Amino acid sequence: MIRLTSTDPDDLTLRQARALASADRVYHRPDVPAAILDRARADAARLCEPMPSDPGTGLSVDVEMAL
């Protein structure tokens, strides 16, 4: 899970940025800014819902705001 403390994509940690760049699917809450989601792979599915218990094969990342 990636818990964001800022809406600025430049504040992502290296680990967070790498996870987004590698993810096949990005599950996110409605309050996650598009600028953050833009850091994900271009072909990654962006799903505005909580990550299911079994998201399937490949790398799935769950993103939420900590604010």
Q: What is the pLDDT of residue 40?
A: 96
Q: What is the pLDDT of residue 67?
A: 67
Give CA–CA dist 10/57, Å, rounded.
29
Give CA–CA dist 41/52, Å, rounded.
20
Domain locations in the chain?
Answer: 2-65
Q: Supply the pTM of this predicted model.
A: 0.90
CATH number of 2-65: 3.40.1010.10
| pLDDT tens for each residue of 4-55 | 999 999 999 999 999 999 999 999 999 999 999 999 999 999 999 999 999 8
